[in-house]
Structure 1
């Protein structure tokens, strides 16, 4: 096999498969509909129509509307988890700057995918898989920010330890972004929430 043949085969392997593209189109359609109608009004048929396929074709990829929503939440929280990993790896940066970047990353996801993240919060109590994914994502940030707070000088033991503070502030951040996203303030409200949360986080650093 020549090098050109090998390169051609590699490009074919790396190119998205038709089924993958169809699945992403279904998730994109579901996310778009979350921004225009309530969860109750969304149906398999409306999602399929938005993706440009038939209802029967959608069932080839997902068994139900719940499966579509679960996959959509998974796609979004994977992006959030990647940012948490980036914050964890950024050990050469000052703790305060790492906190600022982490909150700004969170703000960006709420701006770009707020409808999905609100759905994750609201569906978490009734769809255990979604609830588990959402909690795991917050726990990732708790682990990361605990390390950041330790590196910033907070104690590892006792009340008010780095982990206690990180846990309280991560859930505070999640809840405040949720309410800002659910309100009518749009991106300005989310940016204000980001500034407020950053201020509180930084006050906890010695």
Structure 2
């Protein structure tokens, strides 16, 4: 899965609220920065010059769209969170088990195919308050989707009502991503990924009293 180009949302540091029809330069800058992140380029080594070069643009032209390197990286990673949030959404009629499966599949696939990009999101969130809010909103969205599905199953008698579903599931969403970061930011074996995802799946199910 790759982050789709949906860049009409205004973010801090961007020079324009949206791109003009047919104008591909802004998206080229975002794609250039994303390639650098995906190639595991340290944040400190990503410069305006490198981003501009990868987009086939000059350094001065960058400032028509963004006022800093951080603004470009923020926009790239906000694009990622919007894509993930669009895939992890509630669908009326779906059970908690099905909703959980979708959530886990999306998250695990993203970590396995774009580990450097998601690790960069974690690291940028530490130092960039504007992106940190977007990152937290993404986790909260994931948690709310799971909560809605769990409460629907509880109302239908498919799950027991523990009374603390919301805080438990939201906390697990944050814990899930944190543990993924700790694993994927270091050298590891594929078996460790399978073990982590299986463990976390079990924790989510136990949090709502699901069997198995």
Q: How does the TM-score come out when normalised to structure 1? A: 0.80
Residues in 2 aligned to 1:120 and 1:32: alpha-carbon distance in whole angstroms: 14
Which stretch of structure 1 is more off in the superposition, 121-130 or 108-117? 108-117
Instruction: State which structure, 1 or 2, has the greater radius of gyration over its C-alpha atoms.
Output: 1
Q: How does the TM-score come out when normalised to structure 2? A: 0.78
Q: Which residue of 1 aligns with 2:124?
A: 123
The offset of 1:132, in angstroms, is: 0.2
1:162 aligns with 2:165: yes
Q: Per-residue CA shift, 1:9-36, capped at 9, x if unaligned?
A: xxxxxxx9442x2222211111111223
Q: Which residue of 2 aligns with 1:11?
A: none
**What's the Cα RMSD here?**
2.1
Q: Retained in 2: the 8 A contact 1:149–1:166?
A: no
Which stretch of structure 1 is more off in the superposition, 111-120 or 60-69? 111-120
Q: Retained in 2: the 8 A contact 1:72–1:116?
A: no
Q: Per-residue CA shift, 1:13-71, capped at 9, x if unaligned?
A: xxx9442x222221111111122321011110011111121111222221110110111
Q: Which residue of 2 aligns with 1:149?
A: 150
Q: Which residue of 1 aligns with 2:175?
A: 172
The offset of 1:111, in angstroms, is: 3.0
For structure 2, the 5+ residue unaligned runs are 1-19
Which stretch of structure 1 is more off in the superposition, 69-78 or 26-35? 26-35
Q: Retained in 2: the 8 A contact 1:149–1:205?
A: yes
For structure 1, the 5+ residue unaligned runs are 1-15
Residues in 2 aligned to 1:48 and 1:181: alpha-carbon distance in whole angstroms: 28
Q: Across the two proteins, how many residue pairs are aligned to each other?
A: 184
The offset of 1:188, in angstroms, is: 5.8
Q: Secondary structure at the match of 1:144?
A: helix
Q: Retained in 2: the 8 A contact 1:23–1:61?
A: yes
Q: Which residue of 1 aligns with 2:138?
A: 137
1:63 aligns with 2:67: yes
Q: Which residue of 2 aligns with 1:93?
A: 94
Residues in 1 aligned to 2:107 and 2:82: alpha-carbon distance in whole angstroms: 13
Q: Per-residue CA shift, 1:124-182, capped at 9, x if unaligned?
A: 1321110000000001111111122222524363xxx1112102211111111212221
